[in-house]
Every structure is written in structure tokens, then in C-alpha cells.
Structure 1
Amino acid sequence: MEGEFINTLRSIVTVLGLVCFLCICYWAWSKHARAGFDEAARLPFADDDLPEHPAEKEGIKNA
């Protein structure tokens, strides 16, 4: 009896995990999320135009 409950619980958790995974995949590949992901993809290049920090110009480094 206890074994049936554990197996049923395992099956339910597996199905819920699969449903969550599929929902995350749908969300990640949907068109409404694309703009945010494109913006996040450009973040590493966003600060290339910033001027250098004044302390770095003078050769002073914080310890």
C-alpha cells in the first residue's frame, strides 16, 4: 500500500516537472520574451563607450 503511494507520488512529481520544463521552454522561445533577451545579450558591450575611471588614468589602484 505504501509502495503504491510512493510510486504515484513519483509519477505526479515527474509529470509536474515535465510540465514546468515545457512551460519554461515555451516562455524562453516566445516572441514577447525575445526583446528582453536581445537587450540582455547586448549588455556586455554596453559600457564600451564609457570614459575611463580617473584613478585608473593616473595609475592609482585600490588595494
Structure 2
Amino acid sequence: MLFDFIDIGMVRGFGTALVLIAFTCVTLWAYSGRRAKAFDEAANLPFADEQNKAAVRKDTP
């Protein structure tokens, strides 16, 4: 047969290599300089509406 030389250990090795490559790619993408501005903006999203809430609280009795 064509695939007689492939056993479960080799399949697991390929799977591990694939996961390692995917992890490396995601890590490089996340720490790339081009994404820094977008991540900084996303990090400040919880504080984006603080001024609006403060204005509403002052106006309510």
C-alpha cells in the first residue's frame, strides 16, 4: 500500500508540528508592530464611555 509507512506516532508528530507552527504564527501576529495601535485601542474600550456615564450621573437627582 501507499501509506504503509505511516503509523499513529507519525500522525501525532505531524499534528504536533502543525500546532507548533500555528502557535508561532499567532504569536508573531499578536506581537507584530503593525497591530500595536489596534490592540492599544481595544485595550482602552472599557474606558471609552466613562465621560458619558459621568455626565449622566451629574444630571440625575
TM-score range (shorter-chain normalised) is 0.7 to 0.9
Provide TM-score, normalisation by structure 2. Answer: 0.75
Q: Structure 1, residues 2-47: CA drift from partner, whole Å, max 9, x if none?
A: 8x51101000000000000000100000011111100001111100
Q: CA RMSD in A?
A: 2.0
Structure 2 segments unaligned to the other structure (5+ residues): none
Q: How does 1:12-51 map to 2 (within 5 A)?
A: 12-50=14-52, 51=55
How far apart, CA to CA, are the structure 2 residues paired with 1:27 and 1:44?
23
Provide TM-score, normalisation by structure 1. Answer: 0.73
Tell me the matched-pair count: 53
